[in-house]
Structure 1
Amino acid sequence: MTVELTLPPFDMPVELSDVDLYDPQTYVLADQHPTWRTMRAKAPVWWQERADATGFWCVTRHADCEKVVKDYRTFSSQEGTILASVGVGDTAGGQTITLTDPPEHAAIRVPSMRALGHAVVQERTPFIRARVTELVEPCDDGEVDFARLMRRLPMVLAGEFMGIPPEHWDDIALWAAACVAPDDPAYALGANPAQTLRLAHHQLFAVFRDLVRHRRAHPGKDLISVLIEITDAMSGRDKPLGEWQVLLNCYSFILGANTTTPNVASHTLLALTQRPELWPRLRDDRGAVEGLVEEGVRWSSPTHHLVRRATADVELGGATIRAGDWVSAWVASANRDEAVFDDPYTFDIDRRPNRHLGFGGGPHYCIGAPMSRLALTLLFEELVRRYAGFELTGPPTHLRSNWINGLVSLPVRQVGRNAPC
């Protein structure tokens, strides 16, 4: 089914007693924007009960979500950043870039940025552009599943910046998707979600173990080589990260790449199939593509939520959050907050400023955001250069996940080739 990201009916508020933002199936069956709009208006900081499991706070207004993701002293990432961690924590806590707070966080982030910096991006842009051009060529032949095609888009980046050989790209993309949404039948690797997650982890870590060992013997300028060189400042020891920490951070980076870029690409193309009048402008005004990418990130909000755990009692949105409570900042809701965005349910490529939280914020602002923007810009520049537009050939299929706003399938076809520019 098509899960629309459009204006919820104002005369149909959602009963809070019916809300369950944990159930992954909820996100397959319906767009949750009516729920989030009701919560912003009536209960901006709301307690989600869970039968026989730990509950959590739901934060839905932009200002409150921004505070949660930026105030790392009060809202810690150390024990987990997604709803699956609520009540149980994350075993990788304190060992990866996503699961550490400053100042330890900087021990991984700062050196890693060397492999993802502006100069490196500029150097590799021609290679990435060539890969993107190659990636979209199947669209020439008629109907294509664009969402499936886009699985490879983050691997174009990861291949260049992490030093992952192309023969691993498709497998890694599939295993990463299975880690993100083990409940979704499209990525089932085992008899149940738990088995799928175990198998996906096993395969990913096996590939990264081989890559790390190769880079130890043959270091380069890629991100894996940088991780190998990082000293273990988190534990106060002047020695390199252990192999397990390097592997965990490789896993963290690859999941980050595979949760944002492909889903923004698919949702943005879906929005354009519903607004074909934008296509000629995008082709004639290349500057408009930049606005398209930013609005695509806001519109799709590829990460539904970001979880933190309170380290102290704090008042937020009229509620008292106690130390130890789990807090979910609903980024997708923040990106439709009427207090921040004019006409938030309108897809507007001219939106300025665009204060979306699609890449998070604060010290955990997505380290891969510049690369994601680059890939998305190159992608849509190539699409509008080659084609006169796209149309749906069947209903999109939404990802079964409470974490990622993804499309498993997006069947489309191009409606005509452009004359060479």
Structure 2
Amino acid sequence: MAGDPAILPTAIAKQIIDPHSYASWDPLLDTFDTLRETQPVAKIVPEQEGLFDPFWLITRYDDAMRVSKDNATFLNNPRPVVFSFKQAIEFSRAATGSNMLVDSLVVFDAPVHPKYRKLTQDWFMPRNLARIEGEIRALAHRTVDRMLEQGPTCDFVKEVAGPYPLRVVMQILGVPPEDEPRMQMLTQQLFGGQDADLSGTGMADMTPEQVVQLVAGAVKTFEDYFADLAQQRRDNPTDDVASVIANALVDGKPLPPRDMAGYYIIVATAGHDTTSASTAGAMQALAKDPDQWARLKADRSLLSGVVEEAIRWTSPVQHFMRTAAEDVELGGQQIKAGDWLMINYVAANHDPAQFPDPRRFDASRSPNRHLAFGAGAHQCLGLHLARLEMRILFEVLLDRVNTVKLAGDPRRATSTFVGGLKSLPLSITPA
């Protein structure tokens, strides 16, 4: 086994699963560049037996696209859909009976997944989202108001990129403004449990058990909150997403409580943390390139390219896991039925075979068929909302900000799953 050429060296394997690696971006991208050339599909085996199940790492765009689209061969179940240590999986099974603490759209396969996705899919299509564009623009203006009130410098993540998409999603869900800070804290504990700054624990290094206990607490609080919200929407339905979920029927029956809670949680959390990361990434790139900011102010037709490139460049959802349903060949390797695979979107979205000069932020990049939203049946449900939010916010920023430049070093989150900037100090000149 140790002599198997498909197995990555221990040092590289550790880098792939270490959350700190994703806070140190360029060295990680260097590793992915090497792997795409030498071992595009390679096995990661734990140095310590029993720490986690071995899995195949996928770094090339074409292989990642194939796995993403072939939902019959590569399943979201039965193994976890996010990289997990065995200790965390055992904790989850004991607490919930499932490999995952949250059962949501990203966990289910057909025939359940398409039935559940259909419940809210129309709500998130551009035609319906056009109804709330005015509300989103008003939120963008209020967010920029607060940023400008801070004076000539601010932390763009804390003042804008974090709170703005949170407010949009909470408004869509019908969560009152006074509960938004609580939702933000819970989301950071759910997705940022590996980062001491974001989880609020004050611990620089948590064990897998500590991380999963933190996440489990956040999940329980989410479940209790949304159970109350669902009951309110059953008693008094409105036109928000919360009402759609609360009153949904699948095969003539309401959603089971755990599935309903998972639906709320995935909309509430994935709907803003990822958009926050892409928004911050776009502003980071523009702050480092005054000429590009000036061109964008003069020609708003370039904005859609900025939005799309920011989503690729940041790749906020950094990986998802799949399980092979049958024996299959992938990237020159023989994958066995039951094997676990990691689609690494950071690596795939920086594949020079698909994206020339991938580390360069290029707003004119075309085509830009990135995998940041996934592909196939599990493509991100909220992709149209994310693009709309970012476009509107930058329209407002371009109207109201004359110049922007870095006022310190940006810092990335310590996380293997959902990542991005956690701090972006800026110096801003109002228009």
Pairs aligned (count):
399
Q: What is the SS of the residue equivalent to 2:279?
A: helix
* 2:207 alignment partner in structure 1: none
Aligned to 1:98: 106
Q: Percent same amino acid among aligned pairs?
A: 30
Asked if 1 retains the 8 angstrom alpha-carbon contact of 2:400 and 2:430, the reply is yes
Q: TM-score normalized by structure 1?
A: 0.90
The equivalent residue for 2:345 is 331
**Which of 11, 21, 25 does residue 26 from structure 1 map onto?**
21
Q: 2 CA distance for matches of 1:314 and 1:302?
A: 29
1:148 equivalenced with 2:143 (yes/no) = no
Match of 2:392 in 1: 378
> 1:275, 1:388 → 2: CA distance?
14
Quote the offset at 1:170 in angstroms: 2.1
Task: Assess if the C-alpha contact under 8 Å between 1:64 and 1:317 holds in 2.
Answer: yes
Residue 38 of structure 1 is matched in structure 2 by: 34
CA deviations on 1:193-233 (whole Å, 9 max, x unpaired) are 34422332233222212211111111122222111232244
Structure-2 change in CA distance of 1:29 and 1:298 (3 Å): closer
Provide closer, same or farther for how the CA distance between residues 111 and 194 of structure 1 changes in structure 2, counting only shifts above 3 A: closer
Q: How large is the RMSD of aligned CA atoms in angstroms?
A: 2.0
SS at match of 2:419: coil
Q: Distance in 1 between matches of 2:101 and 2:63?
A: 24
| Aligned match for 2:405, one of 359, 374, 391 | 391
- Checking the alignment, whether the CA contact within 8 Å between 1:78 and 1:94 is kept in structure 2 is no
1:182 matches 2:193: yes
**Residues 94, 170 of structure 1: alpha-carbon distance in 2 compared, 3 angstrom cutoff:** closer
Q: Distance in 1 between matches of 2:220 and 2:314?
A: 30
Which shifted more, 150-159 or 240-249? Answer: 150-159
| C-alpha separation in 2, matches of 1:175 and 1:95 | 17
2:314 maps to 300
Whether the 8 Å contact between 1:189 and 1:196 is mirrored in structure 2 is no
Q: CA deviation at 1:371?
A: 0.3
Alpha-carbon contact 1:86-1:326 (below 8 Å) kept: no
Task: Give the Å deviation of 1:299.
Answer: 0.7
Q: Measure how far apart 1:116 and its partner are.
A: 1.8
**Offset, 1:17:** 4.6
Q: CA deviation at 1:95?
A: 4.8
Aligned position for 1:417: 430
Which residue does the alignment assign to 1:221? 239
Maintained 8 Å contact 2:327/2:335: yes
Q: Residues 187 and 294 of structure 1: is their aligned pair in 2 closer, same or farther, counting only changes over 3 Å?
A: same
- Secondary structure of 1:159's match? helix
Aligned to 1:65: 64
Alignment of 1:104-253 (within 5 A): 104-140=112-148, 141-149=151-159, 150-190=161-201, 192-233=210-251, 238-253=252-267
Partner of 2:43: 47
The answer for the alignment partner of 1:7 in structure 2 is none
CA distance in 1 between partners of 2:250 and 2:118 (Å) = 13
Which amino acid counterpart does residue 430 of structure 2 have in structure 1? R
Shift of 1:16: 4.8
Q: CA deviation at 1:84?
A: 2.2
Corresponding letter in the other structure for 2:152: G
Shift of 1:243: 2.5
Change (3 A) 1:327 1:86: farther
Structure 1 unpaired stretches of 5+: 1-14
Q: 1:282-334 deviations in whole A, cap 9, x for unaligned?
A: 11111111000000011111111121111111100001111111100111111
Cα distance in structure 1, aligned partners of 2:25 and 2:131: 43
What is the match of residue 290 of structure 1? 304
Unmatched runs of 5 consecutive residues or more in structure 2: 1-7, 204-209
Contact 1:69 1:306 in 2 (8 A): no
